[in-house]
Amino acid sequence: MAENSLAPLAGAIPPAKRQRPRFSWLTDRWIAVSFLTPTLLLMLFITVFPLVWSLYLSFTEWSVTRDATTAPEWIGTENYVELLGDSRDGERTWERFVITGQFVVPAVTIELVLGFGVAMLLNRRFAGRGVLMTMLLIPMMLSPVIVALFWKFMMEGSGVLNYFIADILGLSPVGWRTDRDTVIWSLILVDVWMWTPFMMLISLAGLSAVPKYLYEAAAVDRAGAWFRFRHITLPMVMPLLLIAIIFRTMDAYKLFDQAFVLLGQQGGPGRAGQTAALWVYEVAFSEFDTGLGSALGYIMLLVIVALANIFIRTLNNLKAEQF
Amino acid sequence: MSNLKKLLFVFLLVTMLAVPPALTAQEVPDLSIIWFAWPPCDLLSSLVAEYEAANVTVACVPIGEWRNQIFADFAAQGGADIPILDSQFMGEAVAGDFVVDLTEFIQNELPFDDYNQTALSYYAEVPQGSGRYYSVPVITDTRMLVYRRDLYEDADVQAAYLEATGEELAPPASLSQRLAQAQFFAESDVIENGFATHWLNDGDLVQTAWNHILWSFGGELWDPATYSVDGVLNTDVGVRAVEHAQAEFLTAGEGAAAFGFDQVVTAICDGSTAMIEIWFGFGGAFTNSDTCAQADNLGFAVVPGEDVHFISLGGQGISVSRFSENQEAALDFIAWLQSDETQIAWVQGGGFPGRNSILESEEFLSAAPYNPIFAESFQYVKDFWNIPEYAALLSVQGEYLNLAISGQMDAQEALDEIAAEQQEILDEAYPDGPPSS
């Protein structure tokens, strides 16, 4: 019916006036494609291509400076064998991953305990809570390089930390950046100062989401404080805490900027604070062993993927237990 | 979609793609220079403002990142038009074909015969003795001893020193004397610390502070004829040199294992230390009483030797990047920088020239109180590896030297570790022995 009623109208329009719209070729789809294509090409160029190219380089012997005019030489898995075997580089790789573990485990654990504890204290209404929270969050809002720089000054031999330790407390000064047994703890200290607020923030979000009626029910059953914490608070907050742990572990695992500024490329005396990321940097961008550096980068990537998988499985198991 | 939106889209697309010719047209070329952050780099930054034939910018990067930045730029076939390279970087830069051969330029356009031949050979000639030059000496440098002249001239201090050691107190004539004086001052009540230098493992800091101690004790880092380290470095002489540095380190005060340039300058300027050793290039830091509280009390001396006399070579040559699109303009700039007029301005601002006529000029000798001893010091200079494996060798040496000097590792053990690891690096790089040329 409708088609029939419009037919006479269509016929009434003179043929000369039926022009094509000026931008009829510019369809919505065309515009969408033209907007997306540069981004996709850029993504391919700056993300996917380097990933594939560095994977190829990891199977070659090549230096971007020394062999710039020659093609990379294919050597199969030799780089991986060298880095994971008994060679000097193999020993160093193992040592760097141990150092990274010695940093990550205590740092994230302390941040978790402190952050959760502070969140428990802040999880109630009191005057000045907003101001206090804002102040506590300041460290994580700063640039890691700036944070490392001012800790570097404070950790100098005659810096403010040693002033308190030696001049005020009368103890022996600490070689924060000069003693090979201490430098890892210096890294941990800076990281804890900077990232405990992050753990606190996530914990606080988790704590504020725990339904009040659970505590009321527990109070009716005369449950003690520890029981309430162990069987209500902790299980309810745990999924969020685990996400925070995943983020912090992955972030701490690839620690570079703070360590670089605080201890230098070699990670301080005897490389005692040289994390895996600093080691990759030294091999790839100081010694310019590009093939070996690429292989090292992929080993780091595999370790972090494995770690993330373990955490995500644990998280999923927790969720399955809860629901 | 409305026509208005489509028009707007087309307009945005055209705006993004169009490069207005007016913005790209320039009357003079842009030139960029990269060096490391120290007073001569600041001086160069102010000097280039006088150059009108190009817009010249100078990047003064932290010393620990200086080489990495330059070679990462080379790898990307870009970076600064004019890199200022350490002598040890030259082998790597030439092997990679990253810098322009300046032999004809330096011989025809510059006063070739006027250049200090030691500086020219170390900074520019690759391989040494080949007659091919890849840089022009932009700053000659070596190390100087800065001491508290007021203490050395104090009658009570002189008497106390005479009583303690049986010797007259004067700027040290040997490394052993320097150690004895450092220990005397560190144990005395007149000043807190004895001797400080940069023992930090960053860049080549600890290496260049220690190498000439080794050489002056009669030791060697390696045998450049056979590319041997094991058995050359880790000898009794090497151990003596490390133990000497350990003893001097103990007189430097708290945190000396992390002393870089800034901390060394501060150590003498804040009045806490009797003697320091640093590059002449930092000299300007000791003559301004606004920034150095002890400026009026300081004296300058030649760094002493021991069994023989060597001092680590500093200074750098200025090169032209092969990837520069303004190579001609870069050469014109270098010619201007090396002209008599600019060189006089350079030395009056605190720079050290590579040309003998300028080194001997009244303008240079009167420009700073330490300049007269520069010429004497420069005759003792000695340099170390300038092969492509430099960075790997340097890294190994820095790691163990810093540990040993700061007392966290036994001297012999440290030298054995250095020798073993450096030998492995060289053997791997040169399985058929040293290169023929």
Residue A295 maps to which CATH number? 1.10.3720.10
DSSP for B306-338 reads SSS--EEEEEEEE--BTT-S-HHHHHHHHHHHT
CA distance B194 to chain A (A): 16
Q: Which of A23, A162, A173 lies at the smallest CB-CB distance from B6? A: A23
Over 80: is that where the pLDDT of B436 sits? no
Structural domain of A174: 96-322
Nearest to B419 by CA among B199, B263, B273, B219: B219
pTM equals 0.81
Q: Which long-range CB contacts under 8 A does B289-298 form with residues at least 24 apart?
A: B292/B265, B292/B268, B293/B269, B294/B148, B294/B268, B294/B269, B294/B270, B295/B269, B297/B148, B297/B149, B297/B150, B297/B151, B298/B146, B298/B147, B298/B148, B298/B149, B298/B268
CA distance B93 to chain A (A): 8
A69 touches chain B (CB under 8 A): yes
CA distance A228 to chain B (A): 49
Which chain B positions have a beta carbon within 8 Å of A175's beta carbon? 255, 257
* Look-up of token digits 């039926």: A18
A34 within domain boundaries:
no
Which chain A positions have a beta carbon within 8 Å of B3's beta carbon? 21-23
B429 touches chain A (CB under 8 A): no
Over 50: is that where the pLDDT of A232 sits? yes
Q: CA-nearest residue of chain B to A285? A: B68
Which chain B positions have a beta carbon within 8 Å of A23's beta carbon? 3, 6-7, 10
A89 within domain boundaries:
no
CA distance B428 to chain A (A): 12
A96 touches chain B (CB under 8 A): no
Over 50: is that where the pLDDT of A154 sits? yes
Contact between B145 and B275 under an 8 Å Cβ cutoff? The reply is yes
CB contacts < 8 A, A to B, total 103
Q: CA-nearest residue of chain B to A290? A: B75
Instruction: Write down the mean pLDDT value for chain A.
Output: 89
A61 within domain boundaries:
no
Task: For residue A323, count other CB atoms closer than 10 A to its CB.
Answer: 5
Which chain B positions have a beta carbon within 8 Å of A271's beta carbon? 399
Which chain A positions have a beta carbon within 8 Å of B72's beta carbon? 285
Over 80: is that where the pLDDT of A105 sits? yes
B6 touches chain A (CB under 8 A): yes
Residue A318 has what pLDDT?
78
Q: Which of A28, A159, A180 lies at the smallest CB-CB distance from B403? A: A180
Residue B5 binned pLDDT confidence (cut-offs 50, 70, 90): low
Q: CA-nearest residue of chain A to B388? A: A66
pLDDT, average across residues A73-92: 91
Residue B87 binned pLDDT confidence (cut-offs 50, 70, 90): confident
Which chain A positions have a beta carbon within 8 Å of B402's beta carbon? 269-270
Which chain A positions have a beta carbon within 8 Å of B14's beta carbon? none
ipTM of the complex: 0.77
A70 within domain boundaries:
no
Residues 6+ apart with CB under 8 A from B303: B142, B143, B144, B145, B212, B277, B311, B377, B380
Structure tokens given for B411: 């001297």
Q: CA-nearest residue of chain A to B422? A: A88
Q: Which of B98, B255, B424 lies at the smallest CB-CB distance from A178? A: B255
Residue A1 binned pLDDT confidence (cut-offs 50, 70, 90): very low
Give the CA diameter of chain B: 99
B71 touches chain A (CB under 8 A): yes
A242 within domain boundaries:
yes
Over 70: is that where the pLDDT of B2 sits? no
Residue B92 has what pLDDT?
87
Over 90: is that where the pLDDT of B96 sits? no
pLDDT, tens only, B22-37: 444 457 899 999 999 9
Q: How many domains does chain A have?
A: 1
* Selected residues 141-160 of chain B with any CB under 8 Å from a CB in chain A: none
Which chain B positions have a beta carbon within 8 Å of A163's beta carbon? none
Bridge partners of B300? Answer: B146
- Coil, strand or helix: which one is B99? strand
Q: What is the distance of C-alpha A34 from the center of its chain?
A: 33
Q: Which range among A16-30, A169-183, B75-89 shows the weakest confidence by mean pLDDT?
A: A16-30
Residues 6+ apart with CB under 8 A from B208: B143, B312, B314
pLDDT, average across residues B382-390: 86
Over 50: is that where the pLDDT of B84 sits? yes
pLDDT, tens only, B282-302: 999 999 999 999 999 999 999
Residue A311 has what pLDDT?
85
Over 60: is that where the pLDDT of A10 sits? no
Higher pLDDT, A193 or B119: A193
Q: What DSSP designation does A165 have?
A: I
Could you give the count of Cα atoms lying within 13 Å of B345 in the half-sphere of its Cβ? 15
Residues 6+ apart with CB under 8 A from A184: A99, A102, A103, A272, A273
A50 touches chain B (CB under 8 A): no
Between the CA of residue B101 and those of B24, B90, B98, B104, B132, what are the distances in Å? 30, 12, 10, 8, 7
* Domains delineated in chain B: 30-141+315-382 (3.40.190.10), 142-312+387-429 (3.40.190.10)
Residue A190 parent element (H or E):
helix A183-208
Nearest to B149 by CA among B286, B347, B330: B286
Over 50: is that where the pLDDT of A3 sits? no
Pick the residue of B68, B200, B266 with the most A CBs within 10 A to test the interface with A by mutation.
B68
Over 70: is that where the pLDDT of A9 sits? no
Percentage of the residues of chain B whose pLDDT score is greater than 70 = 94
Residue B6 has what pLDDT?
65
Contact between B342 and B336 under an 8 Å Cβ cutoff? The reply is yes
A90 touches chain B (CB under 8 A): no
A124 within domain boundaries:
yes
A188 within domain boundaries:
yes
Q: Which of A64, A162, A269 lies at the smallest CB-CB distance from B406? A: A269
Residue B23 has what pLDDT?
44
Q: CA-nearest residue of chain A to B420? A: A88
Q: CA-nearest residue of chain B to A183? A: B258
Q: Which of B3, B253, B402 lies at the smallest CB-CB distance from A157? A: B253
Pick the residue of A22, A171, A266 with the most B CBs within 10 A to test the interface with B by mutation.
A266
A28 touches chain B (CB under 8 A): yes
Across the interface, do B255 and A158 touch by the CB < 8 Å criterion? Answer: yes
Pick the residue of B8, B254, B263, B402 with the most A CBs within 10 A to test the interface with A by mutation.
B254
CA distance B330 to B316: 17
Q: Which of B3, B257, B398 lies at the smallest CB-CB distance from A266? A: B398
Which chain B positions have a beta carbon within 8 Å of A68's beta carbon? 74-75, 96-98
* Look-up of token digits 């992390």: B258
* Selected residues 384-413 of chain B with any CB under 8 Å from a CB in chain A: 388, 391-392, 395, 398-400, 402-403, 406, 408-409
Across the interface, do A26 and B96 touch by the CB < 8 Å criterion? Answer: no
Over 90: is that where the pLDDT of B273 sits? yes
Residue A67 has what pLDDT?
83
Across the interface, do B406 and A285 touch by the CB < 8 Å criterion? Answer: no
Pick the residue of B6, B94, B97, B410 with the most A CBs within 10 A to test the interface with A by mutation.
B6
Across the interface, do B9 and A64 touch by the CB < 8 Å criterion? Answer: no
DSSP for A38-87 reads HHHHHHIIIIIHHHHHHHHHTTEE--TTTTTTSPPEE-TTHHHHHHHSSS
Q: CA-nearest residue of chain A to B402? A: A269
Across the interface, do A180 and B408 touch by the CB < 8 Å criterion? Answer: yes
Higher pLDDT, A195 or B88: A195
B67 touches chain A (CB under 8 A): yes
Q: Which of A26, A66, A180 lies at the smallest CB-CB distance from B6? A: A26
A125 within domain boundaries:
yes
Q: What DSSP designation does B283 have?
A: G
